[in-house]
Amino acid sequence: MMSSGLDTIAGASGGSLARVVAGADFAFDRVLRETAAAYLLGVEPADSDRDGKPHRINVKVRVSNAEVRSRREFVMPKAEAKPATPDEALAAAFRADRQQTGLPIRLATHSLAAITGGGHRVLISADIGNAIAGPVEMRFLYAFVEASGRTLPPVAQKATLRPREGGAPGTVSYTSESTLRPGTYTLRFAAVDAAGRVGSVDHAFTVGLKQGETVRLSDLLLIEPRQRTNDDTYIVIDGHLRGAAVDAYLEVAPVTPSSIVTGVTFGIADRADGAPLVSAQASPSRAKGAGHWSAGARLDLGLLPPGDYVVTAAVLADKRVVGNVTRAVRIERAAPVPGGAAAGTPSPPRVSFAAGESGSLVKAFSRQDVLGRDTLEYFLDRMRRASPEPAADPSVAIATESLLEGGTIASSRIS
């Protein structure tokens, strides 16, 4: 009786029962041999299989005299009833063990300086949806789970969101703020739109500041420039910069009461240790009673061709760098609109700039930059579009061709 029960248990789990009378070496050798390799097969159940009842399953192979050990049955839980309202769908997605993908969500968190009381401000930013063309009403539900497993009280919100110019195509942007103590957390975030499409995501992150020499630094925020003062704040999530400029923002906290910050230099380089191609100097400010400095500057992307870059922020105490933080980005260009610039317009040349005393862009002169074919094509194209009639003169065409071919222009007059 006992042997029959053990055989049933072993067979249900895909194993077998080894009967030992004297000496178990052969049994252990068999276990070692049969567990040295295994195959994992996936089965997609039909809707009719989701009835909560046992279903038999049999695995066969075409190898002669092979013995296959596999589980003999499976049970699929009954399918849950479809939520009747968006709120029910949101709650179901929030409780589900698996992430919901009906509504795509790309999410990031950003740690800022601590406030009075010891907690850090944490910004949650998300790009939500796809193929969204206009305003859409959405509901959100999220909660933070501490490293100990304790879940903080969930937060429910409802908002009407609109696509933004610099956002990922077809998405709407969401931003909220919470206060958390330093530590490791997991954010469970769920959203549902008016059509009932549901999405959820689990995001692990750490709250805290980066340690510098005499200061601590927040995450480096990249923000889409506001067109009006009452516009919402849109934070770049995926590192893709699609506009003509971006605002960089940093908060800096002192390590000791004697720590000082006299400036912050923001820049964009083609690698983490490279010289800035574009940079701007910012004067940090410190509100009365605040425990940190804030600094921000706008970086002009107009002269940078599409590609991968690194945004940098260097914190200065007098002229000494006491802390720095970087963030990888990709500069993209929006697709040309009808009636816009013609296809094939040369991209701006990749040249080096540095910040002057006033913060303006000052060209670091290089003969190779000035006489390179890509630079000449770029500015000659701008000249043609700015002054079409003079550019159509035959003498201009001859001079242009001579420049691009590296020849000299002979002084002549064409009548």
pLDDT for 272: 87
pLDDT for 391: 63
pLDDT for 294: 96
pLDDT for 232: 81
pLDDT for 155: 96
Tell me the C-alpha distance between 291 and 253, whole Å.
6
| pLDDT one digit per residue (tens) for the chain, 415 residues | 556 666 666 666 667 777 777 777 777 887 777 777 778 887 777 877 878 888 888 888 888 888 787 877 888 887 666 777 888 999 999 999 889 999 999 999 999 999 877 799 999 999 999 889 889 999 999 999 999 999 999 999 999 998 877 778 889 999 999 999 999 999 999 999 988 899 999 999 999 999 999 999 999 999 999 877 777 889 999 899 988 999 999 999 999 999 999 999 999 999 888 899 999 999 999 988 888 999 999 999 988 999 999 999 999 999 899 999 999 999 997 544 444 444 444 555 444 444 443 333 444 555 555 566 666 677 777 777 777 766 677 766 776 676 566 543 333 333 3
The β-bridge partners of 264 are 282, 315
Tell me the C-alpha distance between 98 and 198, whole Å.
12
pLDDT for 215: 96
223 contact partners, CB below 8 Å, separation of at least 6: 233, 234, 235, 236, 246, 247, 248, 249
Tokens representing 11 are 């067979």
Q: Exposed, middle or buried, 352 (CB in 10 Å: 0-12/13-18/19+)?
A: middle
